[in-house]
Amino acid sequence: MERRLASAEETRAFAAEVGAAWGPGDVVLLEGELGVGKTTFVRGYLRSLGWEQAVRSPTFTLLQLYPTVPPVVHADLYRVGSTQGLGLEELLENHVALIEWPDRLGGWLDPDACWRVTLEFDGEGRRVSVRAPGGGAAAERRAPD
Ligand SMILES: Nc1ncnc2c1ncn2[C@@H]1O[C@H](COP(=O)(O)OP(=O)(O)OP(=O)(O)O)[C@@H](O)[C@H]1O
Ligand SMILES: [Mg+2]
């Protein structure tokens, strides 16, 4: 699924739309350059779960937990060398996990088992593409020739 997002509010609304499908155990890899809108996307998802308090970028805390339904863990791995000892793996089972800079995971998560949200700069706005788990191969198999 691909979409143009003309404003930060459209990024937040889009997160609510795609996030309606997520539940505990879903892992969302948030890809895209510095400042492209990954944390904005997380804010929109949390807002859709009724979270009204602040959503801070976990750049220093690395992980931020939200006692929403479903519970959410938001990770920002930008400053992380290794995710060993973070406790993220244990949290994945019963949270929706949204992970900025997932390349820092060092490969222990299978990207094909995750949702992938990729944001790109596009003039004043952004472009986003979303791939469901197993989406690549499954989508190709379903595609008519
Ligand atoms: N669709 C959009 N159009 C224009 N601006 C947007 C859009 N989505 C988000 N923004 C803006 O982009 C800026 C950066 O957003 P945000 O902090 O979410 O980026 P990030 O990808 O999390 O950055 P970092 O890599 O530093 O964590 C914010 O000012 C936000 O309002
Ligand atoms: Mg961020």
Query: CATH number, domain at 98?
Result: 3.40.50.300
Q: Residue 145 falls within a domain, yes or no?
A: no
Which value, in Å, is the radius of gyration of the alpha carbons in the chain?
15
Q: How many CA atoms lie within 13 A of 137 on its CB side?
A: 5
Taking the CA of residue 40 as reference, the ligand 1 atom at the shortest distance is: 18
- How many angstroms is it from 23 CA to the middle of ligand 2? 22
Number of domains in the chain: 1
Q: Output the CA 143–ligand 2 centroid distance in Å.
A: 34
pLDDT value, residue 79? 86
Full domain range(s) for residue 77: 23-122
Does residue 73 sit in helix, strand or coil? strand
> Is 35 a pocket residue for ligand 1 (Cβ < 6 Å)?
yes
- At residue 39, the pLDDT reads 98
Which residue is it, tokens 């700069």? 121
31 Cβ inside 6 Å of ligand 1: no
The predicted structure's pLDDT at residue 10: 98
Closest residue CA from atom 8 of ligand 1: 8
Q: Is position 117 within any domain?
A: yes
CA distances from 108 to 19, 25, 89 (A): 24, 15, 9
Distances (CA, A) of 66 to 24, 70, 87: 13, 9, 15
Q: Quick one: pLDDT at residue 83?
A: 73
Is residue 40 within 8 Å of 55, Cβ to Cβ? no
Q: Residue 136 has what pLDDT?
A: 54
Within-domain flag for 48:
yes
* Residue 12 Cα to ligand 2 middle (Å): 13
Among residues 88, 92, 19, which one has the least CA distance to residue 51?
19
pLDDT in tens, the chain (145 residues): 999 999 999 999 999 999 999 999 999 999 999 999 999 999 999 999 999 999 999 888 899 999 999 999 999 999 887 777 788 999 999 999 999 999 888 878 888 999 999 999 999 999 999 999 986 544 444 445 5
Answer whether residue 51 is part of any domain: yes
Per the CB < 8 A criterion, the answer to whether 110 and 133 are in contact is no
Q: Is 13 in the pocket of ligand 1 (CB under 6 A)?
A: no
Please give the Cα distance from 108 to 52 (Å, whole number). Answer: 33
Ligand 1 atom nearest residue 42's Cα: 18
